[in-house]
Amino acid sequence: MSYQTAKAAFAEWGVDTEAALARLATVPISMHCWQGDDVVGFEKQTGSSGGGIQATGNHPGRARTPEELRADLQFAYAMIPGRHRLNLHAMYMDTEETPDRDEIEYRHFEPWVDWAKAQGIGLDFNPTFFAHAKADDNLTLSHPDAGIRDFWIEHGKRTRDIAARIGLELGSACVNNIWVPDGYKDIPVDRMAARARLEASLDTMLAPAQEPAQMLDAVESKLFGIGVEACTVGSHEFYMGYAIRKGTLLCLDMGHFHPTENIADKLSAVALSLPQILLHVSRPMRWDSDHVILLNDDILAMAYELVSADLLHRTFIGLDFFDATISRTAAWVIGTRNMQKALLRALLAPWDRLRAAEDSLDFTARLTLTEEFRDLPFGEVWAEFCKRLDTPSGLTLISELDAYQASVAVRA
Ligand SMILES: C[C@H](O)[C@H](O)[C@@H](O)C(=O)CO
Ligand SMILES: [Mn+2]
């Protein structure tokens, strides 16, 4: 089937494929740098990821230097239609210096900004509150020791300054997302004290005013992590309240809730209280396992909600998965394209008909529409999107991914 035939098939349902393609081309996905090296980073001081998160696998080709990571990213972006962003963690500094986390400055990240300028992409940023001796207790901003809290507050403040400078240099607001691993393996006796310390630390860290056109603060909640099974200080309720009161973005990570919770359902609920949301699109399997996202029901549900609730213009879409058992570049490409495919499907949905059926309580019609609509030729519209944006698809994509992986497999 040709794109023209597919276009006519969608038109019969009252759907304009050209409008969907045009809108999709404007949605940037923030691709996370940490899929490229298994969350190791480039600090000269520390190594393992820690913090209750874990990349497993030993597939050949892990990026060992900023140059290798940038080469891998460049390849991945060439396989993904459209203009996107890079989500950089502070542990990915690119410098011969060895600053501790409370000493980092913009210059330690400047090569990334120069590269982003050359690539025409935006950057997002994250303080790194794990993989450090001062995070070994799984307590950072909520640590009972004021000296440790101050160390991490200083780190967080510096990342906000760095993010603001990045945003200024690139002319695009840099989202600085705060995730701390803080929690307890066994049942704590004073949750309130820990949460009050986290709140006070965040208040101090976020006190210096920043220009929203340059940087935006986000806070990321979590249910539990390895080693903090009994209590996570920065839980969903904690951060939802905090974000609403303080005017930060709330980051919803799809792996940070109970497996039976529907994260898509949360979007419209939180969007009524928060002007902007950050997503970490991920695929939890039994726990926050950070599998590469599939074009599955969970991702489709997120995309449908983003479009149906008209949230695309106030949601920052970031990815968060890391699988070291497969080609890391293929993981980025497959995951990012799946997010785009999900958005395309949502943009191609016959929303007027669906809403009319729901509003008239004709749930039979709503179900018939959603199920018959699944048979429309989405693949042709996606192939057209890739073609227009000069990006391979199908078998050509597979051979490109294979060839690149073969070229990096020699890395030790
Ligand atoms: C590396 C990231 O900051 C991390 O994955 C965080 O976003 C998270 O989701 C922790 O579980
Ligand atoms: Mn996350």
Is residue 376 classed exposed, middle or buried when 0-12, 13-18 and 19+ CB atoms within 10 A define those classes?
buried
Report the topology of domain 27-350.
TIM Barrel (3.20.20)
pLDDT band at 412 (very low <50, low <70, confident <90, very high): confident
Is 108 a residue whose pLDDT tops 90?
yes
What share of the chain has pLDDT > 90, as a percent? Answer: 97
Catalytic residue among 38, 220, 298, 380: 220
Is the Cβ atom of 126 under 6 angstroms away from ligand 1? yes
Cα–Cα distance, 75 to 73 (Å, whole number): 5
Give residue-wise pLDDT tens across range 287-306.
999 999 999 999 999 999 99
Instruction: Tell me the average pLDDT across 383-399.
Output: 97
What pTM did the predictor assign? 0.97
Give residue-wise pLDDT tens across range 322-359.
999 999 999 999 999 999 999 999 999 999 999 999 99
Could you tell me the distance, in angstroms and rounded to a whole number, from the CA of residue 292 to the centre of ligand 2?
13
This model of the complex carries an ipTM of 0.99
Catalytic, 220? Answer yes
Per-residue pLDDT, 49: 55
Catalytic, 265? Answer no
Is 47 a residue whose pLDDT tops 60?
no
Per-residue pLDDT, 44: 80
Q: Considering every ligand atom shown, identify the ligand nearest to the alpha carbon of residue 183 and give its number.
A: 1
Could you tell me the distance, in angstroms and rounded to a whole number, from the CA of residue 53 to the centre of ligand 2?
10
Give residue-wise pLDDT tens across range 221-274.
999 999 999 999 999 999 999 999 999 999 999 999 999 999 999 999 999 999
- Which whole-number Å values give the CA distances from 198 to 171, 204, 268, in the listed order? 32, 10, 27
DSSP 45: S
DSSP 292: P
